[in-house]
Amino acid sequence: MNKFAIIASRFHPEIVEKLVKNALETLAAQGVQSDVIWVPGALEIPIVAQRAARTRKYDALVCLGAVIKNETDHYEHVCREVHQGITRVCLDVSLPITMGVLTVEHRNQAIERSRDNNRNVGLNAALAALQVVATLTTLGPDL
Query: What would the pLDDT profile of 39-81 be if each residue is shown by its tens digit?
Result: 999 999 999 999 999 999 999 999 999 999 986 678 999 999 9
Query: 86 is in which domain, residue-wise?
Result: 3-139
3-class DSSP state of 142: coil
Distance CA(127)–CA(60), nearest Å, equals 11
Helix (H) or strand (E) holding 17: helix 13-29
| pLDDT tier for residue 142 given thresholds of 50, 70 and 90 | confident
β pairing state of 97-104 and 3-9: unpaired
Cα-to-chain-centroid distance, residue 57:
17
Q: pLDDT at position 74, please? A: 87
Whether the pLDDT of residue 141 is over 90: the answer is: no
Q: How many domains does the chain have?
A: 1
Summarize pLDDT for 87-139 with one digit per residue, the tens.
999 999 999 999 999 999 999 999 999 999 999 999 999 999 999 999 999 99
Q: pLDDT at position 15, please? A: 98
Q: For 19-33, what is the mean pLDDT?
A: 98
- The model carries a pTM of 0.95
Whether the pLDDT of residue 25 is over 70: the answer is: yes
What's the CATH code of the domain at 39? Answer: 3.40.50.960
Core vs surface per residue 2-15: b (16+ CB within 10 A) or e: bebbbbbbebbeeb
Distance CA(9)–CA(66), nearest Å, equals 8
Sheet of 3-9: strand order equals: 33-39, 3-9, 60-68, 97-104
Q: pLDDT at position 135, please? A: 97
List residues with catalytic annotation: 74
Strand ranges in the chain using DSSP code E only, listed in sequence order: 3-9, 33-39, 60-68, 97-104
